A and B are shown apart, each in its own frame.
Chain A
Amino acid sequence: MSASQSAVRSRAEAVKVSRTFDWLILFALFFIILGGYHVHFMLTGGDWDFWTDWKDRRLWVTVLPIVGITFPAAVQAVLWWRYRLPFGAIVSVLGLLFGEWVNRYFNFWGWTYFPVNFVFPSQFVPGAIVLDVVLLLTNSMIITAVIGGLAYGLLFYPGNWPVMAPLHIPVEYNGMMMTLADLQGYHYVRTGTPEYIRMVEKGTLRTFGKDVAPVSAFFSGFVSIIIYFLWHFFGKWFGSTAFTQAA
């Protein structure tokens, strides 16, 4: 068989093979992104995502979208400019969420017995959908960065609020007021995470009083815009080199 000879004999067969590739590539992509994104996210977001008593109105809201928009921006750059596929961001965050759940369920609960309601991950799905849709509708990196990036930051807190609100109910415990999330952190002993390293409710936004969460979300959105540009370029650069070689 010579190298120039085609491996498929008919158009129907070509379509079939192409479809097989679609699924294989999507599957591989999901797990490759998952691996890189997961490690990146654990190193940068870390404790803010591990424990409910770190998920506050200031730093959690600010930090997670900023470190979480990275891979979605890069993968979008590859999938959109090379394939015109508008699901780079959502595939990334679904990969991350899957990886985080595996980690929390098997390591935090299965191995160390922290209750799942204390260590479940945060999710980025609504923000990622909007990020993908803005790119699809505008075909513009700049508008996606500005509108999508801002939306990514803004949607994070309300998107997670339905699972967080029940843990922010106050309790009186031995003469002190705490939220249920604080109490989880106190009850379920972490020898390696003493209370003082918990970075919550710190920062200079105190002057905004009760409306601190929206202010943090806006701030996070603005920084996400910048990070989006940066990682979108990473993605473009990475995508072009890798695929030129393959072609």
Chain B
Amino acid sequence: MKIIKDKVTKLSFVALLITVTAAMFYAPTASAHGEKSQAAFMRMRTIHWYDLNWSKDTVPVNDTMTVTGKFHVFAGWPETVDKPEISFLNIGIPGPVFIRAGSWIGGQLVPRSVSLELGETYEFKVLLKARRPGDWHVHSMMNVKGGGPIIGPGKWVTITGSMSNFTNPITTLTGQTIDLETWNLGNTYFWHTFWYVFGIAYVAYWARKPMFIPRIIAVDAGKADSLITPLDKKVGLAFGVAAIGIVAATMVSTNEQYPVTTPLQAGLLRGMKPIELPAPTVSVKVEDATYRVPGRAMQMTLTITNNGDSSIRLGEFNTAGVRFLDAAVHVDETGYPDDLLAEEGLTVSDNSPLAPGQTRTINVTASDAAWEVYRLADLIYDPDSRFAGLLFFTDESGNRQMVTVDAPLIPSFS
């Protein structure tokens, strides 16, 4: 007997461990810091985020901030990734540290998935309301069905204050204002407790009497039917009838209390409005491109033709959110994240203004530790070793225009 008792105790302990493990089995994804581990070609050849702006560096709880900018859906979208026909504008934060109070593409609210067109550029805005204090990395992010999450640049934002002060007031169509942070919580606890106690009461009725050993002996002796008394059946019936009755009654009373309810809303949003960018007046031809591994630099030979009516200079090369600038042409004043900004990372062999109608071949070097830090250099190990990015030209009056480039990349190890 002692041995069996020990065994049962041991078994209970093992079961308890299994339970704890099982309960810990799943926690929703909290982190979005996948940006460096995502394949370089995914970041360079899918969605190009630019003109990004994080409206604040520090936000108190309950205050809002915005992440705004544009994204270009790259025309040379990789074959291996599903096209962005079903995509969702997300925000890369570690769980609900902010709530997403709104998100827009081209002025249209996008709480649902959308359809995006290759080669188009869209304007976006995400409105965030601070909820949980801490330092958080806030990334722009697009989920693409069949392609996974495409994480854009991230910036550190600090939330101050206390989460206990957070409220989320919402006015319903029935005219009530509720706090969505805690709405329905007491009701949920009440009903779950109610049914739990109801279930325990039923088990308790049977647990009053001897359970396992005497009963298995009786069953094995062929006296199973003697174990259930007429009273047992009556009590069981009462529990069954009560369960059905309570469900029916609460269903009716719930419908009386909440006469207006609607089904969950879902469905794909089509027809997102892209930005109507004027046709570029600069044409760029990539003659060759090499990546120098020891120098952490990419060199391109470009032939540029200015078909516009104002002379232009090359100010920026942007790939995967890393910005290489020629400080003499363009200086960033938006507070772009330091680690993604090479303020003097762009060297151009001849960056004097290129007059209208002229053509010039230039050598461009984009060098920064970011190639390694953000593992963009891994590109040279990709099966289809191509690079892609955005070139920004600035004209005399300071207007910027964007030209995409997409060409093979040859590594150089010396």
A residues lining the B interface (CB < 8 Å): 7-8, 15, 17-22, 24-28, 31-32, 34-36, 38-39, 42, 50, 53, 55-57, 81-87, 90-91, 93-94, 97, 99, 101-103, 106-108, 111-117, 120, 123, 125-126, 128-130, 132-134, 136-137, 139, 151, 155, 158-159, 161-163, 165-184, 186-198, 200-202, 212, 243, 247
For the complex, count residues of B whose C-beta is within 8 A of A: 116
Pair B22/A170 contact, Cβ less than 8 Å: no
Pair B99/A169 contact, Cβ less than 8 Å: no
Apart from A82-B216, A133-B240, A137-B240: 5 A-B pairs, beta carbons within 8 A: A103-B25, A114-B28, A163-B187, A176-B265, A177-B265
Report chain A residues within 8 Å CB of B163: 113
The smallest beta-carbon distance between A12 and chain B, in angstroms, is 13
Pair B99/A187 contact, Cβ less than 8 Å: yes
Report chain B residues within 8 Å CB of A26: 207, 211-212
Pair B23/A180 contact, Cβ less than 8 Å: no
Pair A137/B233 contact, Cβ less than 8 Å: yes
Report chain A residues within 8 Å CB of B192: 97, 101, 120, 123, 163
Report chain A residues within 8 Å CB of B98: 189
Q: A201: which of B16, B27, B240, B263 is its contact (CB, 8 Å)?
A: B263
Check A35/B19 contact, CB under 8 A, given A82-B219, A167-B184: yes
Report chain B residues within 8 Å CB of A188: 96, 99
What is the count of residue pairs linking A and B with beta-carbon distances less than 8 angstroms? 350
Pair A115/B247 contact, Cβ less than 8 Å: no
Check A93/B199 contact, CB under 8 A, given A113-B96, A180-B183: yes
Report chain B residues within 8 Å CB of A159: 195, 247
Bound-state Cα–Cα, A42 to B258, Å: 30
Bound-state Cα–Cα, A176 to B265, Å: 10
Check A28/B12 contact, CB under 8 A, given A111-B30, A190-B29, A201-B266: yes
The smallest beta-carbon distance between A211 and chain B, in angstroms, is 12
Bound-state Cα–Cα, A192 to B26, Å: 13
Check A18/B96 contact, CB under 8 A, given A169-B260, A179-B261, A195-B88: no
Pair B250/A161 contact, Cβ less than 8 Å: yes
The smallest beta-carbon distance between B84 and chain A, in angstroms, is 11
The smallest beta-carbon distance between A243 and chain B, in angstroms, is 8
Check A189/B228 contact, CB under 8 A, given A22-B212, A169-B258: no
Bound-state Cα–Cα, A35 to B265, Å: 34
Check A28/B15 contact, CB under 8 A, given A182-B264, A201-B263: yes
Bound-state Cα–Cα, A108 to B25, Å: 12
Report chain B residues within 8 Å CB of A161: 250-251, 254
Bound-state Cα–Cα, A192 to B237, Å: 46
Pair B206/A85 contact, Cβ less than 8 Å: yes
Bound-state Cα–Cα, A20 to B212, Å: 10
Question: Which chain B residue shows the least CB distance to A196?
Answer: B113
Report chain B residues within 8 Å CB of A174: 102, 109
The smallest beta-carbon distance between A153 and chain B, in angstroms, is 13
Question: Which chain B residue shows the least CB distance to A192?
Answer: B29
Residues of B157-188 contacting chain A, CB below 8 A: 163, 168, 170-174, 176, 178, 180-185, 187-188
The smallest beta-carbon distance between A215 and chain B, in angstroms, is 13
Bound-state Cα–Cα, A173 to B183, Å: 17
Report chain A residues within 8 Å CB of B1: 7-8, 17
Pair A18/B210 contact, Cβ less than 8 Å: yes
Pair A19/B8 contact, Cβ less than 8 Å: no
Pair A116/B185 contact, Cβ less than 8 Å: yes
Question: Which chain A residue shows the least CB distance to B100?
Answer: A189
Pair B145/A196 contact, Cβ less than 8 Å: yes
The smallest beta-carbon distance between A213 and chain B, in angstroms, is 9
Instruction: Tell yes or no: B101 within 8 A of A by CB.
Output: yes
- Which of A20, A155, A171 counts the most chain B CB atoms within 10 A? A171
Bound-state Cα–Cα, A8 to B93, Å: 63
Pair B180/A163 contact, Cβ less than 8 Å: no
Pair B29/A191 contact, Cβ less than 8 Å: yes
Pair B244/A170 contact, Cβ less than 8 Å: no
Pair A114/B185 contact, Cβ less than 8 Å: no
Report chain A residues within 8 Å CB of B199: 90, 93-94, 125, 128-129
7 smallest beta-carbon distances between A and B, as pairs: A192-B29, A133-B240, A194-B143, A35-B18, A7-B1, A31-B15, A168-B261
Pair B264/A87 contact, Cβ less than 8 Å: no
Report chain A residues within 8 Å CB of B373: none
Instruction: Tell yes or no: B112 within 8 A of A by CB.
Output: yes
Bound-state Cα–Cα, A28 to B88, Å: 45
